[in-house]
A and B are shown apart, each in its own frame.
Chain A
Amino acid sequence: MSPLSETGILGPAGVLLTAPLIGFAFGWFLERGGLGDARKLAGQFYFTDLTVFKVLFSALLTAMLGAFWLDRFGLLDLELVYLPETFVLPQAAGGVLFGAGFLVGGLCPGTSCVAAAAGRIDGLGIIGGMLLGVAGFNAAFDWIAPFYDSTALGAVTFTDMAGISRGAGVALVTAIALAGFAVASRLERQRP
């Protein structure tokens, strides 16, 4: 029954039309949650403001549980939803670089657009920096390509790799997230 784009209900034009609508809602909620403020985001790393963790993981949990149950009831075919491919080393290295940049910049690509939309010049700075970073990557691509393409595992879930069921993986992630939320409230209670 869904994804609608794969069962013929939504054609190419319809698919493109969903993009700005989905983006609008995404940007709306990001701003509502305060993720357009770099100080708030950076506070994550100093345990003063755990908004990023709360927003990210409650979003992840919602989508993950929702997708699991829609699939279970035959309303969504997860086999037809695009699963990003895994490249172990490049994604680990990319994560390291990205984490450093996130700390220094205080905004990620999505939230930098939200910040810029609200008039924050630092958001524009991030955007500019990102364009440079991407251009630099492209320029260096010939040297990076072997590393970039290395350790490819295809589109796999960690549940497949660990030999556990999808439901077990969902329960595990939920447990981690809820534990994280409990820790976050405790940390925030300690700092008035």
Chain B
Amino acid sequence: MIPVHRALATLAATLALAAALVDARPAIDAATLAAEIEQDRDHISAPELAERIMRRDPDLRLFDLRSREDYEAFHIPSASHATLDELARTTFPRQASIVLYSEGSAHAAQAWVLLRLRGVRKVYFLREGVYEWIARVREPRLAVDATPGERAEFERAVALSRFFGGMARTSVPRSEVPDGYWTGTASRDVPSRAAQAIANVRRRGC
């Protein structure tokens, strides 16, 4: 029996050594995260999120990080409410795609760092939070002097907005479609614009 034991022990030792070497992965540290942020691999755009929701992507897990009152008043369809604390303690399956959003991006970005540090693989956030959803999916706007590029984005958004029960608007003054509207980088003054956008949505009703 001894030769068999020796063979088994060697096999175990080899597998274990290989495990240690293979798992010496780059630690998820500041440098790795900084690189991901730099390369814009940390966020997802609202239209992309909308398409995933429409497709009923089974791996998608969407979380709203605002207050419970804000969540109850209006949230992106299929989103669950969560606090940073709760997220820190939840375990997610390997193939889950976590998407986070808050009012602007502060809380969502913090939660992103938290989850990445914990080793969650696929986590993204909406750069402009709930405002981006309303501006680019639910109530997209086309400026009077829109460029062809903006028009294309708008067309894509119209289909989405119809699906989510929103309303597209054309021929709006340029002031309502500032620079960066369609790339999710018009981040000045987002919280108040978000509040205004939500108020508009709710006022409409039937």
A and B touch in the complex (CB under 8 A): yes
Interface residues of B (CB under 8 A from A): 5, 8-9, 12-13, 15-17, 19-25, 89, 91-95
Known interface pairs A61-B12, A65-B15, A178-B12; A167-B24 also in contact (CB < 8 Å): yes
Is A21 an interface residue, CB under 8 A from the partner?
no
Question: Quick check: B15 and A69 within 8 Å, CB to CB?
Answer: yes
Bound together, the chains give a CA A178 to CA B20 distance in angstroms of: 16
19 contacts between A and B (CB under 8 A): A65-B15, A65-B19, A68-B19, A74-B94, A77-B93, A80-B93, A165-B20, A165-B25, A166-B23, A167-B20, A167-B24, A170-B23, A171-B19, A174-B13, A174-B15, A175-B13, A175-B16, A178-B9, A181-B9
In the bound assembly, the distance between CA atoms of A79 and B122 in angstroms comes to 14
Task: List residues of chain A with CB within 8 A of the CB of B24.
Answer: 165, 167-168
Main secondary structure of the interface of B (DSSP, over half): helix
Return the contact of B20 from the options A80, A171, A181 (Cβ within 8 A). Answer: A171
* A170 and B20 contact, Cβ closer than 8 Å, known pairs A77-B93, A79-B91: yes
* Those of A102-144 within 8 Å (CB) of chain B: none
| Cα-based distance from A174 to B8 in the complex (angstroms) | 12
A168 touches B23 (CB 8 A): yes
Apart from A77-B94, A168-B20, what are 18 other A-B pairs with CB-CB below 8 Å?
A65-B15, A77-B93, A77-B95, A79-B91, A79-B92, A79-B93, A80-B94, A165-B20, A165-B23, A167-B19, A167-B23, A168-B23, A168-B24, A170-B20, A171-B20, A174-B15, A175-B13, A175-B16
Q: Is A20 an interface residue, CB under 8 A from the partner?
A: no
Pick the contact of B22: A58, A167, A175 (CB < 8 A).
A167
Return A155 CB to nearest CB of chain B, in Å. 8
Q: Are A72 and B17 in contact (CB under 8 A)?
A: no
Taking CB atoms, residues of chain B closer than 8 Å to A173 are 16
> Are B94 and A174 touching (Cβ within 8 A)?
no
Question: Closest CB-CB distance, A158 to chain B, in whole Å?
Answer: 15
Q: Is A6 an interface residue (CB 8 A)?
A: yes
Contact B91 A65 (CB under 8 A): no
